[in-house]
Amino acid sequence: MPILGVVASSLAKQTAARWSWLVDEPAANMEYYASVAVFSDGSWAAGGADTSGNNRWIINKWNTNGTLAWQRAISTSETSRTYDIAWSMDTDASDNLFVYGAVKDQNSGTAMGSAMVVKYNSSGTLQWQRRFRNSSVLDIYVNRNFVKKDAGDCWFTGFNNANGGEAFVCSYDGSGTFFTQYAIRGDQPRGSTIWRDSAYNTYVGGYRYISPYDGWVAKFNSSGSLQWARTINISGNTGYFDVVDVVTDSGGNVYAFCWPGNGTPAKSSTLIKFNSSGTVQWQRELSRGTYLRGLSMTIDGSNNLYCVMYSGNTGWQYVAKYNSSGTLQWQRVMPLLGNVYGYQTKADANNLYIASNQYLSNSNATVSKTLLSGTGVGQSVTVNGYTATYAAGDMVDAAGSCTVTNWSPTIGTPAGTSNTPTITEVTTSYASGTATIRV
């Protein structure tokens, strides 16, 4: 069963610090956290799904001291909501919260159907909701990351089966007006991640659904014109080489975090740095000799990168910190029971936040959340009778060997329209507790 959590861990140098380990436990339900956002005062929110019966979105906010501020659950009018998950969230300069994810659309006949964005103010009051869908038979696959700009716009990406398969890039302004859309086509590209920089350039990454299943990253300027695009793959790969996250630093350099799917070799994750013109600066590969899945990445104000991974043979969560020169600063592992997936990661001035879910075959192990810190080696936490100790990771850091190639996709208008869906919003009452790391 999936158990989910958000954790906040200190990034600063510490010798005798304490951290809160946040627990979100609905009675008799199964939760799925996939997204996290941080507010200007240091409070934070997490989103995902309650997967007991028909899925519904869950959105919870905590105060800075770790107490629950408010909780919401959202369901659509569809009779079957198997795929309803709040995959991504972020805040704007006014601390409004934008949440983006998938909702089942009965009109689609199959698969996910639609993308949905909802906007809350910081007090948890719903401002508006919007759905992006095709008017014909459609599968829209929604991926994990979307971004805002300080003006209050939200941007999102995913995959649309129309036009032979296309990645879409769309946006809403702060009032919920649908205003920017374009499609990326060529060997069925799927959009997995999106990022906006301070100059309002847009960066999109994902993978192509046709052999050789390359990963890809593309840059668009503020007018929506394609500046450059690159495909990425590794020798011998037989899976989808997915760019799971892309970010930029203060100098306009671009970082892509990649994973070669379930193919061969799925034993590594790779971080690639491009300059603003799309030229590769360096590659770093992390491996353990076994399945190591890259899941998410974020960047802090000093241009340090934090990469979150899942190791298949243990189920544990790994985090690696690199500086902007590609030098590994530290790596950590949290050996928690079950399989721990960290789907979205954020950083503020002092903390790293990881939205995770934990799959357990033992239903008695009802709650577990992951805390990872750069100075947390040797510290332990006990929850529900299970003790985990923070340890230095055992990943091998080496020069990457990915092949990066120029790509010329076709840019067009995505097949889809925006409307205002009917939703049911309720205030939930999930229990939340804390545990502390003992020093």
pLDDT, mean of residues 11-16: 36
Query: Confidence band (pLDDT; 50, 70, 90) for 336?
Result: low
pLDDT over 90 at 22, yes or no: no
- Tokens found for residue 109: 């006949």
pLDDT digits (tens, 9 = 90+) for 136-149: 444 566 666 677 76
- pLDDT tens across 340-389, in order? 777 788 877 777 777 777 665 432 222 233 344 444 444 454 444 455 56
Q: Which fold has domain 13-19+36-332+376-436?
A: Methylamine Dehydrogenase; Chain H (2.130.10)
Check whether 114 has a pLDDT greater than 60: yes
Task: Specify whether the CB–CB gap between 367 and 383 falls below 8 A.
Answer: yes
Higher pLDDT, 229 or 158: 229
φ/ψ region of 190 (left if φ > 0, alpha if ψ in -120 to 50, else beta) reads: beta
pLDDT digits 0-9 by tens, 392-418: 889 999 999 999 999 999 999 988 888
> What pLDDT does residue 5 have?
52
In the chain, domain spans? 13-19+36-332+376-436
List the structure tokens of 228: 């450059």
- For 167-178, the pLDDT digits (tens) are 999 999 999 999
CB within 8 Å of 328: residues ≥ 6 apart = 284, 320, 321, 322, 397
**How far lies 44's CA from each of 3, 37, 40, in Å?**
19, 6, 9
- Residues paired with residue 38 on neighbouring β-strands, in sequence order: 44
Which of 121-130, 246-255, 289-298 has the least mean pLDDT? 289-298
Would the pLDDT of 64 be above 80?
no
Q: Is the pTM of this model over 0.75?
A: yes
CA distance 193 to 43: 24
> pLDDT-derived band of residue 109, with 50, 70 and 90 as boundaries?
very low
- Give the chain's mean pLDDT: 78
- Phi, then psi, of 313 in degrees rounded to 5: -80, -25
Give pLDDT, residue 390. 63
User: In this predicted structure, what is the pLDDT of residue 225?
Assistant: 96
pLDDT category, 132, cuts 50, 70, 90? confident
pLDDT in tens, 193-250: 999 999 999 999 999 999 889 999 999 999 999 999 999 998 888 888 999 999 999 9
